[in-house]
Amino acid sequence: MLASTTGNTGRVLRQEISEIVFTVSNIREILRYAENHIMLQKLGIEVLTSLAMDEEARERIGATGGMIKELLRLFFREGCDTQQQIELRTEAGEALAMLALENERNCERILKGERVIDRLVACLADPTVRISSIRILKNLCAFNGTEFVSRLRGVADALPTVLNAIMVEEMKLLEVSLGLAVQIFNVISYEEYMKELEKSGIREDQFAERLVKLLNTYSYPSIKVPRIRRFLIELAIWLMRSDEEKYVTSFKSFGLEAELENVAETMSELECFNVFSGSVGLSRHNRALSSLVEAALEWVREG
């Protein structure tokens, strides 16, 4: 499929495909009316997800009337019993997550859906769409439109699930859970975090130790979870900033400084991007990992 071609060649192809005026609207019609052709719908959504790796195409897709509404309808569809139906639902979630990535207008379009945040949080209980739900929530939280601040507060209801995932999960589910935790912490108070931690049966020192151990476990950049160390460091900084005396002491005792020094020695360009097309990084993070490491080390050494 041309839209999923990797590298710079793929980027050029995606731009050209998305500029064909009938491409996106034809896919929308397939999603609306081809209910008996699930594989065709799935293929159409895969094309959308691939096209959405391009920033301009992302906006073009979201601006196509009814497109996001159709994707939400498919993602929230209940009674998906067959493997094809489950895969279609999962693919719709991946498309929504990609469309919401660093695109305020698309985030706004998604948030206009009925009880979207509540429904996404509820989806965390479904293993088949949990990762997609977390990705969508994370990207929505990164959008700070004042009109939707009150709606985004509802994402705090996901914190117990996210905290438990951080304590027990590995690899991709762990990475996306850490990423969502970073965003949730930006919309709640430290006191709210403490309450949720207690309700989840997790001690503060236990959580801090887990973050340090994870930095040790993922001691080298991984193509499978390239953002995991960034998220761990962001969480550590938030905790130290929120309660310097408690968390700086805890992190020192658990060896955070040594782990941060290891990150400084092993960080790579791989950890600088949100999305990849083959070996080509797309959508660079606003803050360099080196800057986060320096900030965290400053807290640990001078706190």
The string of DSSP codes covering the chain is -GGG--HHHHHHHHHHHHTSTTHHHHHHHHHHH-TT-HHHHHHHHHHHHHHTTSHHHHHHHHHSTTHHHHHHHHHT-----SHHHHHHHHHHHHHHHHHHTT-HHHHHHHHTSTTHHHHHHHHTT-TTTHHHHHHHHHHHHT---GGGHHHHGGGGGGHHHHHHHHHH--HHHHHHHHHHHHHHHTTS-HHHHHHHHHHTT--HHHHHHHHHHHHHHT-S--SSSTTHHHHHHHHHHHHHHHSHHHHHHHHHHHTHHHHHHHHHHH--GGGGEEEEETTEEEEE-SS-HHHHHHHHHHHHHH-
φ and ψ at residue 13, rounded to 5 degrees? -60, -45
Check: CB of residue 248 under 8 Å from CB of residue 300: yes
What pLDDT was estimated at residue 2? 40
Rounded distance, CA 223 to CA 231, Å? 15
* Per-residue confidence (pLDDT) for residue 34, from 0 to 100: 85
Distance CA 4, CA 53 (A): 10
What pTM was estimated for this model as a whole? Answer: 0.90
Q: Measure the CA–CA gap between 198 and 248, rounded to whole angstroms.
A: 20
Which residue type sits at 287? R
| pLDDT score at 15 | 54
- In this prediction, residue 275 carries a pLDDT of 72
Supply the pLDDT for residue 10: 47
> pLDDT tens, position by position, for the chain (303 residues)?
544 445 454 454 445 555 544 688 899 999 998 888 999 999 999 999 988 988 888 999 999 999 999 999 999 998 777 889 899 999 999 999 999 998 999 999 999 888 999 999 999 999 999 999 999 999 998 876 556 667 777 898 999 999 999 999 999 999 999 999 999 998 889 999 999 999 999 999 999 999 999 999 999 999 899 999 999 999 999 999 999 899 999 999 999 999 999 999 999 988 887 776 555 556 777 889 999 999 999 999 886
d(CA 297, CA 258): 9
What pLDDT is stored for residue 153 in this prediction? Answer: 79
Report d(CA 141, CA 136) in Å as an integer: 9
